[in-house]
Structure formats: structure tokens, C-alpha cells
């Protein structure tokens, strides 16, 4: 439980922890490459530790030294069947990507997860993988699943039916670990970290518009990966810096890959003043981000930008409560399938603080500006890290005390979140 109060200003220069999506992928590709992969700034959080543990269960040696993680890969043939059931905890990314990797590697495994993960759909990866020869039994398309040794087809052609990078990545990883010639079409432009990183590990990946093609029998070689700061974590501070008057915040070394930076595009359209100072990097693009207190205006948010900001929508909704006019968010039904039903949890919790917000089938209608108010009001993060962090930022602009009933979930992606907040509030 956390008692949270309004902030008069936030001041400081901070770095957010490593990107969660990139951290998962660096561990996985390191595990199937030949040689020792060195990962700098790997996110140390519950979800990424799940991926690390599962890969160790599959026989991969992973060690830590200071800020560097070493993954000793021996190619796909270095992996073996796990002795234990694989427990994916709360992590959808671990489950879906590793399902692809394990199926392609021809391993046997049983997969379980926590209550939240066990309610989330896994048929979105089971179906495309089964169509190319995977033998997976499931609980009606959900966990627990059992993967039986599978021999995938030598050619995989798949068109993404939903805007999910996890599904895309599961199929790409299955293609690479099975040695199939693989083509995936992604008209949604979902996050492209898997494709970018496969190239970094020496795989031949051709990108032609929406089409990603990988020839058969790719062998990956170990790489040095520097994980940029997570824009999904930075987004909380960016919005805080826009909404808390007299703030002076800079967030350093944030990954600004265009398939992830929809939040910046949207905030700019809302008239936010956000300075982006791009810096040099070998891999993913990075920048220092400085938000300035801004008077926001309402906009319509829908279509192609949604996959590029899907994890940031809860904090965008908070920003919209302070924007003048009616903000309409559409095409975001995927939010119902995250760690909580984020359309419901965002609406329910912000309403407790007086927000004028309506849940719709695929998004929200928000009227603003509204001054949020609390009187020792209890709010719940619904065991969902991004809801807990959004509500914490909400409390910084709310009159009166907010009591956040569950705050542990921040460990999923940002274990040092409250510590950082303590340093920034002056």
C-alpha cells in the first residue's frame, strides 16, 4: 500500500531501466546463438528474470557481472528439454516468444503462468504455429500448455491477423530455431525489435515494406547488445513532467524506435512541449527527452499509431483528463487482453478520482480538463504494473491523498519506480 500526494514539482535528470521488449529478445537470441553474448543494461525485473530462468531451464548458462549479462549460447542444438514445468509468472512476452522458440527447437515442455497470465489468450500463437506443424495442447487456447516435440514445415508463410509483435516474434523465432524459410507480413507495423536484433546477431533478414523474409537455416552468432532505456517506463515521467507545474525533468538514453514512440507523436499532437535530443548509438535509436509543463488539447487517437503506443495508452488517458476538449481513443481493443483489462481498469480507477471518462468497446472517451480530487481515496492497480504507475502519476496532480492499495506489480517492468519518484519529488 502507498499513500500518495500531490507534487508541486519534479526535478532531476534520470535514466529509466532497460527496455523490457529488447531485454527479452537479447536473452533469447543470445541463447540460440553461437558464442558469448554480452548484454549491457538488461532490465532487471520480474518479467525479464522469468525469461532468464526459462532459458536456464533449457540448459543455457547466464551470468551477471556489474551491468553486463553474459549468455553462453551453443546454437539451437545446445538447448535441451526442461526437467521442470516452465513457470512464466505474469509475462506474456516470455510465454508467447518462448513458445515459438521451443516449438521450433523441437523440444518438449509444459508451460504454466500466474492467474492473470492464465486468463490471457495463447491461441494467437498456438494457431499459427499449429498450422505449420506444431504439436501444442492447451486449456482452450490458454495456459497451461504442453508442447510436444514438433517438426515444423520447411516453409512458413504467415500474415499477422492482429497487431501483436509477440505473435509476429513467436513465428519468426519458430522459423529461425526450426531452420524454416520464413515470411511474415505485418501490416500493423508492430514493434520490430526481433527483426532488428536478428540482423544484429548475423541473420539474413530482408524487410520489404510490411514483409519480413528470412531464408532457411540461419545460424546466429553472439553479439554485444546495449539495451536502451524503456520508452514505456519513460512515458510515465514524460507525462508527469508535462502535467506537474514547475517541473524540470530530463530522461536520458531512451529508446525511440519509431515502432515504439507513438506516445511522443500523440503528445506532440496534444500540444505538449517535449524536447527530443537524439544521440548516436550502434543499434536501436536513443534520445534524451525533456518534457515541459504544457496546456494540452484533446485529439482523436486511432488506427496505425495504436500498436506504437499500446502500452502507453493508460498514461495517455491520464494526460487526456487534463486536455481541453473531448479525447477519443479507438482501435485499442487489445487493451482488454493485457495484464488487466486496461479499458476497464483505467476507467474504473480514474473515475474514482473524478475523471470524466467512458469506456468503449475499443477505447475511451475522455472529457477535460478535469482537476482530479481525492480524500484518502483508495485506488487499485489490479496487479497490473502499468495501471499502478499511471495511478501514481495521477496522484501527483490530484488534490487530496490517494491510497494505492497494491504497488508490488511495478516489479514486473520497473522495480525502482517508487525509489525514483522519491528522488524526483521536491
Least separation in angstroms between residue 163's CB and ligand S3P is 6
Burial (Cβ within 10 Å: 0-12, 13-18, ≥19) of residue 150: buried
Rounded Cα distance, 46 and 87, in Å? 12
With residue 129 as reference, give the H or E element that holds it: helix 123-131
Q: State in angstroms the smallest separation of the CB of 275 from ligand S3P.
A: 26
Size of site (CB under 6 A) for ligand S3P:
10
DSSP string, 181-227: EEEEE-TT----HHHHHHHHTT---EEETTEEEE-SS---B--EEEP
The nearest distance, CB 310 to ligand S3P, in angstroms, is: 5
* Residue 119, phi then psi, degrees to nearest 5: -95, -10
Least distance in Å: CB of 256 to ligand S3P? 16
Smallest gap, in angstroms, from Cβ of residue 92 to ligand S3P? 6
Q: Is 208 a catalytic residue?
A: no
Residue 334, interface with ligand S3P (CB under 6 A)?
yes
Collapsing DSSP states into helix, strand and coil, what is residue 168?
Answer: helix
Site for ligand S3P in 157-176 (CB under 6 A): 164-166, 169
- Identified catalytic residue from 311, 384, 407, 411: 311
Q: Which three cell numbers mark 352?
A: 474514482
Contact 184, 144 (CB under 8 A): no
Nearer to ligand S3P, 162 or 273 (CB): 162
Of the residues 10, 21, 286, 320, which one makes contact with ligand S3P according to CB under 6 A: 21
Give the position of cell 509543463.
293
List the helix and strand counts (H, then E) for the chain. Answer: 13, 23
93 binds ligand S3P (CB under 6 A): yes
Decide whether 257 or 377 has the Cβ nearer to ligand S3P. Answer: 257
Nearer to ligand S3P, 256 or 353 (CB): 256
310 binds ligand S3P (CB under 6 A): yes
Q: Give the three-state DSSP class for 144.
A: strand
Residue 230 binds to ligand S3P (criterion: CB under 6 A): no
Among 311, 312, 384, 420, binds ligand S3P (CB under 6 A): 311
Helices (H), 261-384: 262-269, 313-321, 342-352
Q: Which is nearer to ligand S3P, 165 or 374 (CB)?
A: 165
Give the residue with the Cβ less far from ligand S3P, 81 or 334.
334
Minimum CB separation from ligand S3P for residue 94, in Å? 9
Site for ligand S3P in 190-209 (CB under 6 A): 191
259 or 290: whose CB is closer to ligand S3P?
A: 259
Question: Beta-carbon neighbour count of residue 353 at 10 Å?
Answer: 24
Please answer whether residues 164 and 186 qualify as being in contact, where contact means their C-beta atoms are separated by less than 8 angstroms: no
Q: Which residues bind ligand S3P (CB under 6 A)?
A: 21, 93, 164-166, 169, 191, 310-311, 334
Catalytic residues: 311
Amino acid at each position: 500500500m502507498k499513500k500518495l500526494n500531490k507534487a508541486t514539482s519534479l526535478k532531476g535528470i534520470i535514466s529509466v531501466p532497460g527496455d523490457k521488449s529488447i531485454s527479452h529478445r537479447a536473452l533469447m537470441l543470445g541463447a540460440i546463438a553461437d558464442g558469448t553474448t554480452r548484454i549491457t543494461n538488461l532490465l532487471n525485473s520480474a518479467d525479464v528474470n522469468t525469461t532468464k530462468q526459462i532459458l536456464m531451464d533449457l540448459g543455457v548458462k547466464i551470468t551477471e557481472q556489474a551491468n553486463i549479462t553474459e549468455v553462453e549460447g551453443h546454437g539451437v542444438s545446445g538447448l535441451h528439454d526442461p526437467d521442470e514445468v516452465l513457470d512464466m509468472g505474469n509475462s506474456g512476452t516470455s510465454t508467447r516468444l518462448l513458445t515459438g522458440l521451443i516449438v521450433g527447437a523441437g523440444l518438449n515442455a509444459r508451460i504454466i503462468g500466474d492467474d492473470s497470465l492464465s486468463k490471457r489468450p495463447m491461441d494467437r500463437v498456438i494457431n499459427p504455429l499449429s498450422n505449420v506443424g506444431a504439436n501444442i495442447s492447451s486449456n482452450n487456447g490458454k495456459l497451461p500448455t504442453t508442447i510436444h516435440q514438433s517438426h515444423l514445415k520447411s516453409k512458413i508463410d504467415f500474415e499477422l491477423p492482429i497487431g501483436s509483435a509477440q505473435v509476429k516474434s513467436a513465428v519468426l523465432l519458430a522459423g529461425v530455431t526450426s531452420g524454416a524459410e520464413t515470411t511474415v507480413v505485418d501490416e500493423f507495423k508492430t514493434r520490430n525489435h526481433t527483426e532488428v536484433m536478428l540482423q544484429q546477431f548475423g541473420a539474413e533478414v530482408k524487410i520489404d515494406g510490411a514483409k519480413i523474409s528470412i531464408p532457411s537455416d540461419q545460424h546466429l552468432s553472439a553479439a554485444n547488445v546495449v539495451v536502451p532505456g524503456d520508452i514505456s517506463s519513460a512515458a510515465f515521467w514524460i507525462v508527469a513532467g508535462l502535467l506537474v507545474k514547475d517541473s524540470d525533468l530530463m530522461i536520458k538514453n531512451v529508446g525511440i524506435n519509431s515502432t515504439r514512440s507513438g506516445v511522443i507523436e500523440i503528445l506532440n499532437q496534444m500540444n505538449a512541449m517535449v524536447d527530443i535530443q537524439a544521440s548516436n548509438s550502434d543499434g536501436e535509436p536513443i534520445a534524451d527527452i525533456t518534457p515541459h509543463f504544457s496546456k494540452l488539447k484533446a485529439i482523436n487517437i486511432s488506427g496505425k499509431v495504436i500498436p506504437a503506443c499500446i502500452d502507453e495508452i493508460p498514461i495517455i488517458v491520464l494526460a487526456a483528463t487534463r486536455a481541453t476538449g473531448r479525447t477519443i481513443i479507438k482501435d485499442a481493443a487489445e487493451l482488454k487482453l493485457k495484464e488487466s483489462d486496461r479499458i476497464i481498469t483505467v476507467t474504473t480507477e480514474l473515475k474514482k478520482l473524478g475523471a470524466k471518462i467512458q469506456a468503449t468497446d475499443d477505447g475511451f472517451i475522455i472529457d477535460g480538463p478535469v482537476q482530479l480530487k481525492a480524500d484518502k481515496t483508495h485506488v487499485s492497480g489490479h496487479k497490473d504494473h502499468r495501471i499502478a504507475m499511471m495511478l501514481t502519476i495521477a496522484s501527483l496532480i490530484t488534490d487530496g491523498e490517494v491510497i494505492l492499495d497494491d504497488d508490488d506489480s511495478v516489479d514486473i517492468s520497473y522495480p525502482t519506480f517508487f525509489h525514483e519518484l522519491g528522488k524526483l519529488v521536491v
